[in-house]
A and B are shown apart, each in its own frame.
Chain A
């Protein structure tokens, strides 16, 4: 089946630095990718919708200048957490859809756990 891969699976960084997380669709082209954040014992929260070749659409309350999303190709989207702070420590998960909206299965990556010291 279709696979979405995230890298790195976990990362530790110092406060004030930037961290880039990659999300790749390995065997299908993903026009749309989604980025989620999940805090411990909570549900996934949609951060933004990333469309290939255009600007991402951010959810209310998500700072677009802090969470930079780039979707330069049909198989790769990146999330950069800029000037990370300890409160940005979280589990970041991407997903990608194959096919048309509503009719295609949404495939999820295995997540990237960010710890900011």
Chain B
């Protein structure tokens, strides 16, 4: 069973920030939070991951709450090419399991 809960779908206006939430209330101390996305009929693409500190890279920012029970992926300036299914995964010891994800649609 997936350890995360995400909204099934979200819309975002092009150029605006997309904030994708993820609940992982049963996360344990040694588990990381990973985010991947999948564009139709392609393999998942790594976005970012973190343990407890907020993280930022060229693609996105990851905000993890202090209690680590939830996180938010932020795409600062969404483009049409960011339309995809976004998966939040909590993993420990090679247990990389996907939940249903959030289908993000970026609209012009």
Contact = CB atoms under 8 A, between A and B. Distances in A.
A27 interface: no
A105 B96 CA distance: 11
Interface size class, chain A: 20 to 34
Interface string A72-99: 0000000000000000000101010100
Nearest to A1: B46
Contact of A108 (B43, B92, B97, B101): B43
B34 to A, nearest CB: 7
Chain A binding surface SS class: strand
Contacts of A106: 34, 36, 46, 96
Contacts of A43: 85, 87, 98-101
Contacts of B42: 110-111
Contacts of B98: 36, 43-46
B97 A105 contact: no
A67 interface: no
Contacts of B49: 105
Give 5 closest A-B pairs by Cβ, nearest first.
A108-B43, A44-B98, A108-B44, A43-B98, A110-B43
Interface string B71-101: 0000000000000010100011110111111
A46 B43 contact: no
